[in-house]
Structure 1
Amino acid sequence: MRTHLKKGKRTLKVDISELKCRLCNVPFSDLNDIRIHLTDEHGKVFSTSGNGMIAYSLKTKDGMFSCHLCTDKFNSFFLLNKHINVHYNNAICELCGKGFVSHKRLLLHREIHGNDQYPCEKCKVTFSSVTKLKYHREKVHSPKKVKPSKCQHCSERFVHHYEKVRHLSEAHGMKIEFKCESCGANYKSQKSLAFHRIKYHTLSISCEICKKPFSERNHLNRHMAMHTEERNFACSLCTKTYRYEKSLKDHMRVHNPNWKFACSECWIGFSGKIKYRKHMAELHAK
């Protein structure tokens, strides 16, 4: 192991797509199974601290990688490598309970729970995580050429992963989706998935009264109406008031069922989006 690990690394990625015992040629599909076999059948001794290896099956079919622990398929090793976390609990995030295959990946994950800013010392651009800062340095300031990623179906190569994903979709008709491991929602881009995770799965602020956590301050503000009982949204056609803007919009249909849009400034109702937008542009443009 030590001869294969780079300095500072504690884990080694290994391909088990053609895993077999070199002493008797018996095939295996799992590292733990072959370890037990070597101990029981060949008397080999292993450390009790673990094997320090992360297993992957790198055999592709139609240009797609498959997870050897489930049936999920991926168009790149980058996505397979990210997915493998769902099957391990070697390191647990104490803030959200997610499991990770290694402590290093847990440290990278913890960045989404903080509000720290990491500035680039060369151009002063700031980033929300060390990972994004490192990526920026390599792409913008590194004198070394970044190794391009090759398409599995043709000879095209790409510096950025998003370019490869777009190429696979446009040139080869492959539907690329990024799945949220927390709720199963699918998104067309990694950026959309990241925004979804922050909005719905990162609870960074809480109500001072009941301690309920929220991912966004506007969600907290709507929640506070439950404690204050303030009714700041009044109907311009009758005397009714409401705690929430959505409740008032629903109420406006009582006066006219055809109103699908309501102005939040003067609460005039509109049957179509074009008339609503024209009203907002002419009377409430900021």
Structure 2
Amino acid sequence: SLLVEIQPSLKNTAKMNVERDIQCANCGVAFTSNRAHQNHIKDGNCQRKITYPCKKCGMVFDKLTRMHYHLYSHKERETCSKCGATFGYRSALVRHLKKSRCSQNQTQEQSENQAVQQTPTFPCKICGQIFHSYTRMLYHRRNHQK
């Protein structure tokens, strides 16, 4: 039998070199047209779920609202003017002041120790590592499943 190598025509070569500038936000696959992208989504060919990474630390979230809530953890800490204790959220400082947890007679170190003891913790059920955020603990636990 005779094997013949067929060269693609110039017309086909031009089509093959078209830039794929439409990218699926879900899975990263690139397309040459909106129609191809829409069909990809409609046909259920998308393999990856949409994720929302934190631009400050890289932590990834499955919902935009969770990522926005997480961004507060990167804010400057709130400081109690009476004792110097610091808090990640303004609401925690307000709660600290309302519940009379603050005493001007306490040292800053005592007040900070008290605040740390009252911070909720979320242990990993697999390795026991402690987290102060439920979301961070869940993110960590995914590493055990890999």
The TM-score range, normalised by the shorter chain, is 0.3 to 0.5
TM-score by length of 1: 0.22
The structure in which a higher percent of residues are strand is 1
User: Larger RCO: Structure 1 or Structure 2 (Cα < 8 Å, ≥ 6 residues apart)?
Assistant: 2
TM (norm. structure 2) is 0.36
